[in-house]
Amino acid sequence: MGSSNRLFYRERSVHEILGGGLVADVMLWRRGNLTMGILLVTLAAWVVFEKSGYTLLSLVSNVLLLLIVILFLWAKSAAILNRPAPPLPELYLSEEMVNEVGAFIRSHVNDFLSASQDIALGKDARLFFKAAAYLLLISVVGSLTDFLTLGYTSLAVVLTVPALYERYEDYIDSYTILGYRKMQQLYMKFDSKFVNRFRKWILERQKLS
């Protein structure tokens, strides 16, 4: 299928659009064992949180407590028995890494603040309606489910929808483009019948006034 029959006239494959690396391989099930492992581990974590009554903070605290107790006892027993200490990597943040993270966060925060200012001052109506639609969608979804369920569902969608699209992209693209053209035809009919008449009515009222 040529690029003219692809969504958005794209010429790259789905794998290339997703970056072509490990993340794309996982999302498109090129590494099926890894993808299945991620889904199963995430499902197990979701079940633990939902059924056991644990919260994220309590679970992380208990895991960290268990980890530091094991490492502490290991280090003490190794010193007494003249054994090697636990093999820990060097825990150190370089100044360069901190600067890169800080610059990344600052850039995105400034973009967010600039967009918020434009919305508050009414400079960008399109951005206002887009932000309002997203916030309304988040509010509706948040009222229907909790954060953990939403996170697992989102991950499941990310790990299944791109793979299904890549497998059936010829059918999906053709039907989507056909539907889009039908919607364009309907919009043109609606525009010619109602919107143009409304514009003419406004112009006539302006002339009379």
pLDDT in tens, 162-197: 899 888 888 888 888 888 888 888 878 777 777 667
Output the pTM of the full model: 0.54
What does pLDDT average to over the chain?
Answer: 82
Please, which pLDDT band fits residue 69 given cuts at 50, 70 and 90? very high
Residue with the bigger pLDDT between 61 and 208: it is 61
pLDDT > 90: percent of the chain: 7
Q: Are 11 and 19 in contact (CB under 8 A)?
A: no
Radius of gyration of the chain (CA): 27
Cβ neighbours, 10 Å, residue 54:
15
Q: Are 31 and 25 in contact (CB under 8 A)?
A: yes
Tell me the mean pLDDT in the region 69-85: 86
The pLDDT of residue 209 is above 70: no
Tell me the mean pLDDT in the region 50-65: 79
Q: Within 13 Å, how many C-alpha atoms sit on residue 59's CB side?
A: 12
Please, which pLDDT band fits residue 7 given cuts at 50, 70 and 90? low
Q: Are 84 and 77 in contact (CB under 8 A)?
A: no
The pLDDT of residue 96 is above 80: yes
CA dist., res. 67 & res. 86, Å (int): 12
CA dist., res. 119 & res. 124, Å (int): 6
Cβ neighbours, 10 Å, residue 127:
13
DSSP the chain: --GGGSGGG--S-HHHHTTSSHHHHHHTTTTHHHHHHHHHHHHHHHHHHHHH---HHHHHHHHHHHHHHHHHHHHHHHHHTT-PPP--------HHHHHHHHHHHHHHHHHHHHHHHHHHTTS-HHHHHHHHHHHHHHHHHHHHS-HHHHHHHHHHHHTTHHHHHHHTHHHHHHHHHHHHHHHHHHHHHHIIIIIHHHHHHHHHHHHH-
The pLDDT of residue 4 is above 60: no
